[in-house]
Structure 1
Amino acid sequence: MRATLSPAFTGSKMRQMFDLTSECAEDVVKHFLSKVKSGERINAEMKEFATRYTNDVIATCAFGLKINSFSNPDNDFYKNGISLLTYRGWWDVVKSIAKVSIAKITRVFKPKIVDETITNWFKSSILDTMTKRREKNIVRPDMINILMQLREGSLTHQTDDSKDENVAHDEFAVVEESELGKMKVTRKWSENELIAQCFIFFLAGMEVSSWAITFVVYELIVNPDIQQKLYEEIVAVNDGLDGKRITYDLIQKMKFLDQVVSETLRKWPIVLETERMCTKDYVYDDGEKKFMIEKGSSIIYPIYAIQRDPKYFPNPDIFDPTRFSDANKHNILPGSYAPFGIGPRSCIASRFALMEIKVMLYYLLLNFSLEPNKNTQIPLKMKRTIAMVTEKGVHLELKPRKI
């Protein structure tokens, strides 16, 4: 499945989806600027703000649906997405952990984590979209289109980014052909397997990116000098556009924006740890400790702990984007920075996530100054949960700029 979906996340596909993402960000800004014109002060809780935006991005880029969760806050796509992201109690947490840690047993009993009503809505939404596209011969460069080709057995990808790390053929994939950049996937995927790919893309695209945006904004609030420097970079790029919309290639060249996002994901990695299966016996020996890791063992890689370890990142609690500058990034030990994982099983959609984060920051800072309000919690405190969740949210005021 990874080999099948990788071509959906190449640089060229990101360029095709970039305008759709920009439209979503522009719609957000227009919505709040209209409120400013009517005399309102804009106070927001950033996690909710960011989730509505990422919901709209996923809806248009993955499922071909035009949704504005700010002007239409009670739309089904957003409401059901929030329901999917909300655990109904401790038993749901237990079932989630069990599905990973004792997978063989849970495959037998098949415990349900998601409410069946939401599951049925999600399935019907995807299948109805496929039906309408087939009937009207609609083709869009998105995940639904790839899954339709899979379902119909007509999928052959031309990998147009030969140097793209997301396009490299996965050595674990089942393929029939792999020559001249073409790849024909021969496995027959079930309907549930196809829908599951949309499901995980929907959840990850909404939740992970929205938390990343939330933490970036928090750091910009408490570090106004960094916010000002980033704003100046954004203005410089915008001034060179002559009224045109920012492009994917231009936003990729914004070095300080990339440093700010990278440092945020270093200090606030959304995924705290990841698991890998050891594929062969391995002797660990660092000169002080020596032991055998047996084939088949489950290895936990503690992303948060390593990225906050002063051994790898001096003064780890200080937000310092210059760690990722051209002059300093060579000092980062390979393997110590892994917010999206590393290797052939790293996050397939990391480019997409970074794109939607950067686009929102570009339009937001271009039009608003991010300021603390009476509800802003400084320093930020986290809940004691299995994920990165703030105690009281990230509250702020959006003050319109005069450009």
Structure 2
Amino acid sequence: MLWIFLATIASALFYYFMVKPLKYWKKLGVKQGNPTPVFGDSWGTFWKTQSLAEFVQYVYEQVPNVRYSGCYQFLIPILVLKDPELIKQIAVKDFDHFLDHKKFMPEEADPLWGKNLFALQGQRWRDMRATLSPSFTSSKMKFMFSLMADAAHDFVRHFKNKNEKIVTVEMKDTCTRYTNDVIATTAFGIKVDSLENRDNEFYLMGKEATNFTGFFKNLKFLGLMIVPWLCKIFSVSFFTKEVSIFFRGLITDTIRTREEKHIVRNDMINLLMEARKGSIHKQDDETTLVDTGFATVEESEVGKAKVQKYLTDEDITAQALIFFFAGFDTVSGIMCFMAYELGISQEIQDRLREEIEDTMRENKGKLTYESLLKMKYMDMVVTETLRKWPVFVAVDRTCTKPYTIEPQTPEEQPLSLDKNTVVWLPIFAIHRDPKFYPEPEKFEPERFSEENKNKIVPYTYLPFGAGPRNCIGSRFAILEIKVLFYHILSNFKIVPVKKTAIPLKLSKNSFNLMADGGFWFGLERLEK
């Protein structure tokens, strides 16, 4: 009898805590799939049978022909938005109801994570966004352009010095070293050459900060998502102690040296120091500059607000570190996918090279910020890369005050969202929805030609998110990509090699988009 009683209690507890939460959306009249106990719809990512991108595609498609549907990331209910007008309504028009990202971890557990722009919430986020926004305008990117170009010169010189007809490279490792060098010089004021000096401390710390492979790191990441309160009790931090000590010391020493010796350098540290003093503002010639491209997001009124916020050294370190975290791995991943598409589509690569050569002739071999950004086909290729392989496969918003989605179809009823309800913009899946992009698996830059780009349905192209909480670094990322490929394609042809996987398969072991087995290509020296 005792065993029967205990089994009954255990079954009841299992149902209450592991099964009942997975009926949340059904009770609200929202269509959902068939989540499994404990794992919800995330069983594939947990057991490594799905990549995160494939998971997003799965939950997007499991309930067709609706404006929104419900899914579960483990036991957390998430509303998946599928309709462009609804995305606009929630991300832009009613932004005040969806101001924040889901709280990832307590700030006191890791201040360098909790104080960065991505993690901040409410008015603190508004103030920080307005403080940092002037640092990411077109005029500020123009200042950083020369630093990026220097890193790209180092990149090309390294491979030209090998004196080989075709140099086989793994693009992820190679592009990550370039993005590391760009961030080192533009954000931290440090000159490194990670292709020549492969084990420099800055690069090694970057790898450590962005490394989530291994059982225990995956377990930590999972714990931060599901039970952040428990991680707070055990002081589980996002960044390792070594990473935190390194970047804190680096920023503090750099600021002190610059203030003592009155050093001014056109990099992110200088811009953040200027922001701390409240002396940074938009340049008068901002409207006359060519912007970085179609994918560039516009700053909202939140970012344009005049805010006088004092930045501590830790605030500056947190912003520099999240800037590094985003750029080191994410942007290098986009470069890899662009290299892949160009490597298997020689016709597209040749056309882009022709535009590069025309630009070189017009500028007598000297690349300028304006001439690079006037390259239309370059922008089409980058834009299509971000369509097919977006920076973020999905972004979340948290309901910050009760909100009702009014019905638009006979099947719908008013949907009341409670505070802290999570909604998703499933970017990867929207970008591959044939309703919006015919033959979505095809790499077709012409989608974004002058004749066609106006046909793109608003809020179906979201590589950097949508609304006031979009990615502040879109200009930087796009410029960095264009600079590198200008220099690569003016000296090399990207060609498949024996180890190239065609078609590529997405890795199921990475949180970001990554090819299973890596991106192996050859850099074939051009005859000039």
TM-score by length of 1: 0.90
Contact 1:340 1:350 survives alignment (8 Å): yes
Larger radius of gyration: 2
1:35 is paired with a residue of what secondary structure? Answer: coil
Task: Name the structure 2 match of 1:354.
Answer: 478
Q: Deviations over 1:16-66 (max 9, x none)?
A: 110110111011111111112xx4641100011100101111111111111
CA contact (8 A) 1:54 1:206 kept: yes
Q: Which residue of 2 aligns with 1:126?
A: 251
Q: CA deviation at 1:304?
A: 0.7
How far residue 106 of structure 1 moved from its aligned partner, in angstroms, is 4.8
Does the CA contact (< 8 Å) of 1:259 and 1:324 recur in 2?
yes
- For 2:192 and 2:200, locate their aligned partners in 1 and report how far apart those are by CA, in whole Å: 8
Q: Distance in 1 between matches of 2:414 and 2:214?
A: 39
Does residue 371 of structure 1 match 2:495? yes
Matched length:
388
Matched, 1:196 2:318: yes
Which segment drifts farther, 71-80 or 97-106? 97-106
Deviation string 1:348-367 (CA, Å, 9 cap, x unpaired) is 01000000000101010010
Alignment RMSD (CA, Å): 2.2
Which residue in the other structure is 2:398 paired with?
A: 277
Runs of 5+ consecutive residues of structure 2 not aligned to the other structure: 1-127, 292-296
Quote how far apart the aligned CAs of 1:292 are: 1.3
Q: Give 2:268's aligned residue.
A: 143
3-state SS, counterpart of residue 277 of structure 2: coil
Determine if contact 1:7/1:167 at 8 Å carries over to the other structure: no
Q: Which letter maps to 1:251? A: L
Kept after mapping to 2: 8 A contact 1:146/1:155: no
Instruction: Verify the 8 A CA contact 1:9 1:349 in the aligned structure 2.
Output: yes
Amino acid in the other structure paired with 2:215:
W
Q: Quick one: distance in 2 between partners of 1:155 and 1:109? A: 38
Task: Tell whether the 8 Å contact from 2:156 to 2:491 is kept in structure 1 after alignment.
Answer: yes
- Residue 45 of structure 1 corresponds to 170
Q: 1:32 — aligned with what?
A: 159
- 2: distance between equivalents of 1:129 and 1:33? 34
CA contact (8 A) 1:155 1:185 kept: yes
Match of 1:115 in 2: 240
TM-score, normalised with respect to structure 2: 0.69
Give 2:203's aligned residue.
78
SS at match of 1:43: strand
- 1:323 aligns with one of 447, 450, 467: 447
The yes-or-no answer on 1:206 pairing with 2:328 is yes
2:469 & 2:224 partners in 1: Cα distance? Answer: 19
Among 208, 213, 217, the residue aligned to 1:92: 217
Residue 256 (str. 1) matches residue 383 (str. 2): no
Match of 1:384 in 2: 508
Per-residue CA deviations over 1:172-198 (Å, capped at 9, x if unaligned) read x9xxxx5xxxx3423x44443321111
Offset, 1:293:
4.3
Kept in 1, the 8 Å contact 2:300–2:467? The answer is no
> Quick one: which of 389, 400, 403 aligns to 2:525?
400
Compare 74-83 and 161-170 and name the one that shifted more.
161-170
Determine the structure 1 residue equivalent to 2:302.
170
1:159 aligns with 2:291: no
User: How far apart are the structure 2 equivalents of 1:101 and 1:333?
Assistant: 35
Change (3 A) 1:322 1:166: closer
Residue 446 of structure 2 aligns to which amino acid in structure 1?
Answer: T
Cα distance between partner residues in 1 of 2:235 and 2:246: 20
In 1, Cα distance between equivalents of 2:404 and 2:374 = 40
For 2:282, give the aligned amino acid.
T
Match of 1:247 among 358, 364, 368: 368
The verdict on how the C-alpha distance between 1:284 and 1:262 changes in structure 2, with shifts beyond 3 A counting, is farther
Q: CA deviation at 1:167?
A: 5.4
Question: What is the identity percentage for the equivalent residue pairs of Structure 1 and Structure 2?
Answer: 40
C-alpha separation in 1, matches of 2:489 and 2:212: 33
